[in-house]
């Protein structure tokens, strides 16, 4: 049997994940009262369901504190379970709630930021127990679905550390969520080549032009080496995601090429990896 407890921050995507798991054949129950969890576990233990997902979060109110003892009892009884914790940056949660016009379960009519902060504190014990943590701040629904299917359908190994390689144009500002920022405006600029000006780093001709530069290859070598060195230290400090931003003037040629090339080099990494080109469609 595979028993997954889906929990985490309100607005981080728990309902969506439960729907994904249900579509994948899991028997799903959401927001079950904590007092009924023990009986639910006994019921499914004697049933025919082989894949079960249970959604639990702060909607349980004060009873959530009882979940810690329930989990310990399940562990003592050697009942196998795993916890999936969905996290998200506070500013993204606020934006999602404002867009959907829903009320945060803790903040009510008060300030949402305070409610989110309180929720994070109340769920900390679950986050510490989590087998898998997925930060959905920068994930599209289809990307989250791909991660869920890899873990719970295809049973692939998953790393809680996620790397985003982001290209951008300095003329539009540095991405505010960057952890590491690199400037590649020192490389030859395809913008000044008539046949390349209106193409992007996703085009073969631009890629070849940029990578023909010895400096571009050396830069990638050194950047890859530095990331290989740094990532284990970020993980040891409890960080679960890293945004590596590479910028050029407009964010269409050099930065896009280098992000794509770096992604190729890191494609076999054990960590989660995605690329994003923030400014590639601007001024089209």
Question: For 149-164, what is each residue's pLDDT tens digit?
Answer: 888 988 766 666 889 9
Task: Tell me the pLDDT tens digit for each residue of 8-53.
Answer: 999 999 999 999 999 999 999 998 999 999 999 989 888 788 899 9
Residue 98's pLDDT is 82
Res 61 pLDDT > 90: no
Residue 12's pLDDT is 93
Res 211 pLDDT > 90: yes
pLDDT band at 109; cut points 50, 70, 90: low
Residue 87's pLDDT is 93
pLDDT band at 246; cut points 50, 70, 90: very high
Res 227 pLDDT > 70: yes
How large is the average pLDDT for residues 82-107? 86
* Phi, psi torsion values for 137, nearest 5 degrees: -55, -40
How large is the average pLDDT for residues 86-101? 87
Contact (CB, 8 A) for 169 and 255: yes
Contact (CB, 8 A) for 177 and 243: yes
Q: What is the pTM of this model?
A: 0.68
Sign of the C-alpha dihedral, residues 158, 138, 117, 17?
negative
Beta strands in 9-128 (DSSP E): 27-30, 51-55, 82-87
Domains of the chain: 2-152 (3.40.50.300), 162-277 (no CATH)
Contact (CB, 8 A) for 220 and 279: no
Output the six-digit token pair for 160: 């809680």
Higher pLDDT, 108 or 102: 102
Res 208 pLDDT > 90: yes
C-alpha 226/C-alpha 218 separation (Å) is 12
Tell me the percentage of the chain whose pLDDT exceeds 90. Answer: 60
Residue 8's pLDDT is 94
Mean pLDDT score of the chain, rounded to an integer? Answer: 90
* Phi, psi torsion values for 243, nearest 5 degrees: -105, 110
Res 110 pLDDT > 80: no
Sign of the C-alpha dihedral, residues 99, 164, 154, 70?
negative
Residue 62's pLDDT is 82
pLDDT band at 140; cut points 50, 70, 90: confident
Contact (CB, 8 A) for 130 and 151: no
Tell me the percentage of the chain whose pLDDT exceeds 70. Answer: 97
């Amino acid at each position: 049997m595979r028993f997954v407890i889906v929990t985490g921050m309100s607005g981080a995507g728990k309902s969506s994940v439960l729907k994904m798991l249900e579509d994948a054949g899991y028997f799903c129950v959401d927001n079950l009262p904590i007092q009924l969890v023990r009986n639910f576990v006994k019921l499914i233990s004697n049933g025919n369901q082989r894949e079960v997902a249970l959604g639990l979060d702060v909607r349980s109110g004060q009873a959530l504190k009882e979940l810690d003892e329930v989990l310990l009892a399940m562990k003592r009884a050697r009942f196998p379970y795993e916890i999936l914790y969905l996290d998200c940056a506070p500013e993204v949660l606020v934006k999602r709630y404002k867009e959907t016009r829903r009320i945060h379960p803790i903040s009510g009519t008060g300030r949402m930021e305070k409610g989110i902060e309180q929720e994070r504190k109340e769920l900390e014990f679950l986050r510490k127990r989590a087998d898998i943590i997925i930060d959905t701040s920068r994930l599209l629904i289809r990307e989250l679905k791909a991660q869920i299917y890899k873990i719970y359908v295809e049973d692939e190994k998953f790393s809680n550390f996620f790397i985003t390689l982001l290209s951008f144009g300095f003329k539009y500002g540095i991405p505010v969520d960057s952890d590491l920022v690199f400037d590649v405006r020192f490389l030859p600029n395809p913008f000044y080549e008539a046949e390349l000006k209106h193409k992007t780093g996703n085009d073969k001709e631009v890629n070849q032009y940029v990578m023909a530069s010895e400096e571009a290859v050396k830069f990638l070598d050194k950047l890859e080496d530095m990331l290989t060195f740094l990532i284990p230290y970020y993980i040891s400090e409890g960080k679960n995601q890293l945004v590596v931003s590479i910028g050029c003037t407009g964010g269409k040629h050099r930065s896009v090429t280098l992000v794509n090339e770096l992604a190729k080099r890191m494609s076999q990494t054990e960590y989660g990896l995605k690329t994003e080109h923030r400014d590639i469609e601007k001024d089209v």
